[in-house]
Each structure stands twice: as C-alpha cells, then as structure tokens.
Structure 1
Amino acid sequence: MTVDERLDPQQRCPAPARRVGGYGLLLGAVGVGAVGRASTLNTALQTRLLGWVRARGLAVYLLVFQGGQALAAPV
C-alpha cells in the first residue's frame, strides 16, 4: 500500500494543486491591474503632451515600458 492510498481522498492531491485556483484569481487580478495602469498612463500622456511632441513622447514611453518588460521577464 502506497502513502497516497493510506491518505484521505481529499489529502491525496498535492498542496500546490489545491492552491491553483487561488493563484489563478490572484494572477487575473494582477493582470487587470496591469492593463488598467498601462491604459491610464497612456491616456495621461496623450492628453497632457503638447501636439508637437506627443508622438515622440509616446515613443519614448513605449520604449521604456516595453524595454522594462523585456528586462524583467527573466525575473
């Protein structure tokens, strides 16, 4: 008889598998927050930058934003 056979049926599932639902909800909430933050920053830049510098300002913003994601991805 293995250890899993001696355990209660609810205890047979490994601990990380029981927490997947909670992690999924947390991941969804963080994703919604990240999209909201990016949308808010983009809107703020488009409304506050002057017309003659708007395109360059958004280009710098996107460069820094996407470069930061690329550098942070391995972490």
Structure 2
Amino acid sequence: MFSGTLDRAAVPALWIQCATWRSGVTRLDLVAVDRVDSAGVALLAELAARTGATAVEGEPIGLVELRRAYRLGATLNFAT
C-alpha cells in the first residue's frame, strides 16, 4: 500500500491519493515503508479512522515512538 518514507515531504501528495478512501480497507500495509514522522503518523491515523482499518502491517522506524507519544493504539486509534 505505502512505500518509502512517510514524512512531511511525502504526505501532501499521499493525502490527495487517499482522499477517496472510505470504509472497506481492513489493513494499512507499511511493510515497504522505511521511516515515518509525525506527519506520516497523522495521515495513517486519519486513514485508519476514516476506513475502519483494523490492522497495521509493518513497523517502520519512528512508528512505535510516535504511537506512544501520541497515545495511539496498535491500529492507530486513540488508546484509552
């Protein structure tokens, strides 16, 4: 689904590509992503919320730390 780096430079173009995504996406595939920053996590969290994705595959550099910092669960939802 995604590849390369999900960062501030890449996110604007990805927002446009993903604008039509709605329900039905069950997983976010990050296996081919090498690194993610806060802009990338914001994109992924919004997509997870919008589509109802229930799984995230892959763990690029930065994802775990940013999930913790923003208190996001494993599926990029807000942890309670």
User: Shared fold by TM > 0.5?
Assistant: no
Q: What TM-score, normalized to structure 1? A: 0.24
Considering fraction of residues, name the structure with more strand: 2
Q: Which has the higher contact order (CA 8 A, sep 6+)?
A: 2
Larger Rg: 1
Q: What TM-score, normalized to structure 2? A: 0.23
Considering fraction of residues, name the structure with more helix: 1
